[in-house]
Structure formats: structure tokens, C-alpha cells
């Protein structure tokens, strides 16, 4: 894991001091709320329906047991005993008081954490593949490059007041576990024929009101030129992106309106002018950062652990959890463990302070002190010995975190919705909880296989509904909460934007409607076919006529 050196530490402490001053000026009235707003947002502090909300950065989703314990303590001291993991691998606290925030940030700085650029119209916290450093299919550890981008983008003087927020994600795999294609800039690490590292760069992806899949602006930017290329893209965007309408201000609109070829030419012209400058990433810095992400001291183990195999045979429940939540590790005898935060008791992505403390202990025992947050609002222990999976499963079960539903219908991405958010039309959490209850039977979930359901409480799409195999969008119908259904989206390597299937359903009817669609899929699926693949095979029409039979009657 990356550790701060004296420069990082000093910088973050100075940022805390600066923000402390800004809060004091706000409290004394020297700064108006309007003036304070962009300053607090750049430090992750939102004003929501009932209170302030602080979003703490977890750069590329990797954090330590010590950091997790600090988050638990913050949840107890400043919040109401829980935290909420977000789709950008961050964590949110919902009830801090403004005057407490500087102290809260100082406590975070003690464990090398911060809230810098978790909001605002600047370059946001960089995200990455949550399996980085552990998974078989990567060409490099994406966190190395995410850290380089994090440092370059931190309080960048030129890109702090962009037209709109700007999100960057990094992956080193053909499998997209970080919705890379839906970022303002998505980076896929590649090796060229000479074995050199570079980046396939996607620009202009995004969700929100106008969902768009990114487009490739450059197929191979050499590693040392990464920062100059990013700077060229950002400069062209900052100068030319629309400022007249905040809903048309993201780079995706600039790509769309300018055209990819023209925009690429502008980026390339700017890049050519700045490529051979101090923006080149020096080899020693790449190696310095790479060293922090060196593999942990793995033991030499057999590829298959006999005890583990026996336990799977003896304990069907354990076996189901293994089938659902475990992914192959590149090191023989190890496994990647997904820990679902889609449990029966709490809203999706939520975790109690006690669970945080317990998970910190477990991470120390079983996974080299390290924890990952995923964009699907779950957690990962990246390096667990197969021989210890059973013990870990038992201990996770004791704290209510052994739900084996990763990638299943109840593993939903869900925005906070009207329960917390001032922008929302509808509540998302109660609908998610009702769907969870409807599909509580795990056999039924496993029979359905991978099914990604995502819920947003408004058109801003924080719940990623556009890329759900089934997406629900909350809409307001004369003061009533309604939900529009989209089908066929995907945020993975088979990226697609879902299509609206028909008129919205009331809150009372929406869960039945979802079940109707899923039942129909079960009736017509081919063997082993996912919901998404069935939908792609037969198209929207059969699903539509199943969901709205009365429309057909009326037409007949």
C-alpha cells in the first residue's frame, strides 16, 4: 500500500489548516455561503437535506486496517455509528457538524487520509480495479498509476474550477471492474509489442442525464507521457467545454458536439507542445511508487488446498459463499474475497462502526492488513489463503457480513435517495430493501445468476441505473414516487446504456414489475444465459409486451 512520506504528510496537514481557516471565516460570516460552497465542496463537504455530509477519499479504493479503525471511530464520534461506501470507492458520513469538520479532517490526516477533491468541479478521487495486484488478468497494478494521477491532480492550480466534475478511472485488465468506459477519462493499461507500458485512453464517458460510453482518444500513450496527455485533455476541456449550462458541461458533451476526430486533433496539438517538458514522469518516481505496491509476502502454497476442498464438500453454505464471493488469485493457494455490504439489516453500502472495527481485525489476520472498496459498494479482502477461507467465512458470518450475493439480484448499487439527498425525487433504499426481501431465497438468487440491478433516485444517476441489466430511475409524478425501468445496460467490458422499457410504475407496483421481468427471463432463457444476454438475444419487445399486456389488448 502507498504510505505518505514527509512531503505527503505535510501537504495534507497544510490542507487541513487551510480548510480550518475557511471554516472559521464561514462561521464568522466573512465568507458567504455562496463563496464557501465551492471551497467546502472541494473538500468533500456537502449540505444535504438534513445535515452536512462529508465524503472521505479512499484513493483507488485501497485502505488499511488502521484506516478502517479510524473510520469506525469517526463514525462513532461525528456520525451516528455508521458509514456509507459509495460508487467511487469513497466513504460518506452523514451527520458531521460544520464546526467539527476541521478536527475530523485532522484525525483523518493522522492515518494518511483526506477528503480532498471528493466533490466540486475538479478532478475527483481516482478510482481503479478493486482486484488490482491480486487478479490473474491484469498487465500491471493499476494502483501505481492511479497514485501518480492522484498526486498530479491534487490541488492542480489550473483544473480546480472546471466547468464540471471530472472523474478518472484506471484498469489493467480486459475485464472492466471499475466502469472505466463511463468516466470522463478512462485509462486501460496496456503493453505494446516491445513490452513497454502505456495507456489506452477513453474520453467522454459518463452517466448522469446524458449517459455516454467513452470513446478512444488514443490507443497507446507511453507511460512516461501519461501526465502530459492528461494535462492536454484537461486543458482543451477547460478552455472549450460549455459553461452556459451545467447539464451540458461535462467533457462527454464536448466530445459529442465537437466530434471525436476534431477534439482528438486539438488534444494532440496541445500534447505535442507540452510532451517534452517537466510533465514527464521520471522513472525513479514510478519505481518509488511501484515499490509500495509490491506483492505482500505470500507463502508458497499448493494451488489447491485439500482442507478447503473438504470444507466445501461438508458445508453447503460455505460452498455457496465460495461460489458467490470468491475470485481466483494470481498467487497459488490464495483467493480474492468479496465482502457484500448488501445485507438484510442496513441500506446498501452501509456498514456499522462495530463492523468496521471487526473487519479491520479480520483484515489484519487474513489479508495482509489491506481492504478494498468496490464501485459496487462492497468490500474486498484481496489476499486470503484458501486454507483460511473457512475461518474467515465463519467470522464474517458472526458480524453479519457473509452474504453470498455478489453479482446477484440483491447486490444492487443504490443511491442514498430522498432519505438523505436534496436532489432526489424518490427514495431508493426502501425499494432496494423490498426487492431484497422478495429475493431473500438464496437458491432463487443463484438460479438467476448474474443480474445487476441498479437504482437511482433522480436523473443524476448516482445509482448507475443506466448501466444496470435492470435499472430503476425514480421520477416524480405529481408528488408521487414513481420508478422508470431501463433494461440492457452494462458497466462492464460489454458496456451498454439501458433503454427505457415503458411507462413508470408506482412505488407500490415497482417490485412486482421487476419480478415480472425476471420471471419472463426465467421462462425464455437458454441454459446458462444471463438476464442481460437473454435481453440482448430477444430484444426489448417481448419484455415490453409481458410487462404491459393491457397495452396490447388496447391495440388489438
Partner 1 sequence: MPLLKGRNIVEDAWTLLVDGLEIPEAGFVIVSLDRFTRDRDLLVACSGPIGVRLSSAQSPQLIVDALEVFSLIELEFPAFTDGRSYSYAQLLHRLGFAGEIRAVGNVLRDQYLNLKRCGFDALEIKEGETAEDWSIATGAFSAPYQVAYDTEKPIMSLREQRLAAAS
Q: Return residues touching partner 1 (CB under 8 A).
A: 5, 7-8, 10-11, 14-15, 17-18, 21-22, 35, 38-39, 121, 151-162, 227, 235, 238-240, 243, 273-274, 277-279, 282, 284-285, 288
Q: Are 497 and 211 in contact (CB under 8 A)?
A: yes
Residues whose CB falls within 8 Å of the CB of residue 56, separated by 6 or more in sequence, listed in order: 44, 71, 74, 90, 91, 92, 93, 108, 113, 114, 115, 118
* Least spacing, CB of residue 355 vs partner 1, in Å: 34
* Least spacing, CB of residue 378 vs partner 1, in Å: 31
Comparison of 240 and 460: residue with beta carbon closer to partner 1: 240
Comparison of 278 and 555: residue with beta carbon closer to partner 1: 278
* Least spacing, CB of residue 390 vs partner 1, in Å: 44
Closest to 330 in 3D by CA, of 298, 307, 362, 352: 298
C-alpha cell at 225: 507521457
DSSP three-state, residue 35: helix
* Least spacing, CB of residue 289 vs partner 1, in Å: 10
Comparison of 65 and 162: residue with beta carbon closer to partner 1: 162
* Least spacing, CB of residue 152 vs partner 1, in Å: 5
H or E element at residue 546: helix 540-547
The angle at the Cα of 431, spanning 429 to 434, to the nearest 5 degrees, equals 110
Comparison of 151 and 319: residue with beta carbon closer to partner 1: 151
Comparison of 21 and 503: residue with beta carbon closer to partner 1: 21
E-assigned strand segments in 6-154: 45-47, 52-56, 62-64, 82-85, 91-93, 127-128
* Least spacing, CB of residue 199 vs partner 1, in Å: 18
Comparison of 281 and 392: residue with beta carbon closer to partner 1: 281
Comparison of 179 and 234: residue with beta carbon closer to partner 1: 234
How far, in Å, CA of 141 to CA of 166, rounded?
23
DSSP three-state, residue 186: strand
CB atoms within 10 A of CB 42: 22
- Judged on CB neighbours under 10 Å (0-12, 13-18, 19+), 54 is buried
* Least spacing, CB of residue 240 vs partner 1, in Å: 8
How far, in Å, CA of 228 to CA of 273, rounded?
9
Comparison of 34 and 441: residue with beta carbon closer to partner 1: 34
* Least spacing, CB of residue 118 vs partner 1, in Å: 16
Residues facing residue 239 across a β-bridge: none
The residue behind cell 477533491 is 117
Comparison of 47 and 442: residue with beta carbon closer to partner 1: 47
CB atoms within 10 A of CB 509: 13
Using the CB atoms, write b or e for 436-453: b if 16+ within 10 Å.
Answer: bebbeebeebeebbebbb
* Least spacing, CB of residue 490 vs partner 1, in Å: 34
Amino acid at each position: 500500500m502507498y504510505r505518505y512520506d514527509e512531503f505527503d504528510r505535510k501537504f495534507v496537514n497544510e490542507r487541513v489548516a487551510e480548510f480550518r481557516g475557511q471554516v472559521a471565516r464561514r462561521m464568522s460570516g466573512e465568507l458567504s455561503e455562496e463563496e464557501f460552497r465551492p471551497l467546502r465542496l472541494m473538500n468533500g463537504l456537502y449540505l444535504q437535506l438534513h445535515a452536512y455530509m462529508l465524503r472521505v477519499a479512499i484513493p483507488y479504493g485501497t485502505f488499511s486496517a488502521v484506516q478502517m479503525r479510524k473510520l469506525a471511530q469517526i463514525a462513532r464520534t461525528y456520525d451516528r455509528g455508521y458509514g456509507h461506501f459509495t460508487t467511487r470507492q469513497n466513504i460518506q458520513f452523514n451527520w458531521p457538524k460544520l464546526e467539527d469538520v476541521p478536527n475530523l479532517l485532522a484525525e483523518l490526516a493522522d492515518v494518511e487520509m483526506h477528503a480532498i477533491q471528493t466533490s466540486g468541479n475538479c478532478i475527483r478521487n481516482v478510482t481503479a480495479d478493486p482486484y488490482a495486484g491480486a487478479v490473474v488478468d491484469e498487465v500491471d497494478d493499476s494502483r501505481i498509476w492511479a497514485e501518480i494521477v492522484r498526486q498530479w491532480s491534487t490541488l492542480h492550480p489550473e483544473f480546480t474550477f472546471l466547468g464540471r466534475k471530472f472523474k478518472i478511472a484506471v484498469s489493467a485488465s480486459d475485464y472492466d471492474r471499475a466502469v472505466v468506459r463511463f468516466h470522463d477519462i478512462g485509462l486501460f493499461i496496456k503493453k505494446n509489442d516491445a513490452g513497454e507500458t502505456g495507456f489506452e485512453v477513453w474520453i467522454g464517458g459518463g452517466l448522469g442525464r446524458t449517459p455516454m460510453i467513452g470513446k478512444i482518444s488514443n490507443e497507446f500513450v507511453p507511460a512516461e507521457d501519461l501526465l502530459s496527455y492528461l494535462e492536454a485533455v484537461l486543458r482543451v476541456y477547460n478552455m472549450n467545454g460549455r459553461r452556459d449550462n451545467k447539464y451540458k458541461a461535462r467533457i462527454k458533451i464536448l466530445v459529442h458536439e465537437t466530434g471525436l476526430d476534431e477534439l482528438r486533433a486539438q488534444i494532440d496539438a496541445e500534447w505535442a507542445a507540452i510532451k517534452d517538458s517537466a510533465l514527464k514522469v521520471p522513472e525513479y518516481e514510478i519505481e518509488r511508487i511501484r515499490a509500495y505496491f509490491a506483492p505482500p509476502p505470500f507463502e508458497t502454497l499448493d494451488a489447491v488446498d485439500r482442507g478447503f476442498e473438504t470444507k466445501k464438500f461438508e458445508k453447503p453454505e460455505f460452498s455457496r459463499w465460495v461460489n458467490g464471493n470468491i475470485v481466483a488469485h494470481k498467487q497459488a493457494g490464495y483467493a480474492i474475497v468479496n465482502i457484500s455490504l448488501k445485507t438484510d439489516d442496513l441500506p446498501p453500502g452501509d456498514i456499522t462502526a462495530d463492523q468496521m472495527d471487526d473487519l479491520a481485525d479480520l483484515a489484519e489476520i487474513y489479508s495482509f492488513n489491506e481492504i478494498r472498496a468496490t464501485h459496487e459498494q462492497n468490500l474486498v479482502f484481496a489476499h486470503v489463503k484458501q486454507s483460511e477461507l473457512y475461518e474467515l467465512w465463519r467470522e464474517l458470518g458472526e458480524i453479519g457480513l457473509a452474504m453470498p450475493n455478489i453479482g446477484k439480484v440483491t447486490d444492487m448499487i443504490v443511491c442514498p435517495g430522498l432519505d438523505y439527498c436534496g436532489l432526489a425525487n424518490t427514495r431508493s433504499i426502501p425499494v432496494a430493501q423490498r426487492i431484497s426481501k422478495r429475493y431473500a431465497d438464496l437458491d432463487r438468487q443463484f438460479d438467476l445468476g448474474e443480474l445487476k440491478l441498479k437504482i437511482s433516485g433522480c436523473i443524476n444517476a448516482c445509482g448507475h441505473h443506466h448501466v444496470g441489466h435492470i435499472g430503476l430511475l425514480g421520477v416524480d409524478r405529481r408528488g408521487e414516487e414513481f420508478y422508470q425501468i431501463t433494461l440492457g445496460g452494462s458497466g462492464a467490458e460489454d458496456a451498454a446504456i439501458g433503454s427505457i422499457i415503458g411507462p413508470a410504475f408506482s412505488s407500490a407496483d415497482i417490485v412486482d414489475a421487476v419480478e415480472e421481468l425476471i420471471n419472463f427471463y426465467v421462462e425464455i432463457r437458454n441454459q446458462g444465459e444471463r438476464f442481460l444476454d437473454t435481453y440482448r438475444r430477444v430484444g426489448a419487445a417481448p419484455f415490453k409486451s409481458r410487462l404491459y399486456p393491457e397495452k396490447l389488448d388496447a391495440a388489438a
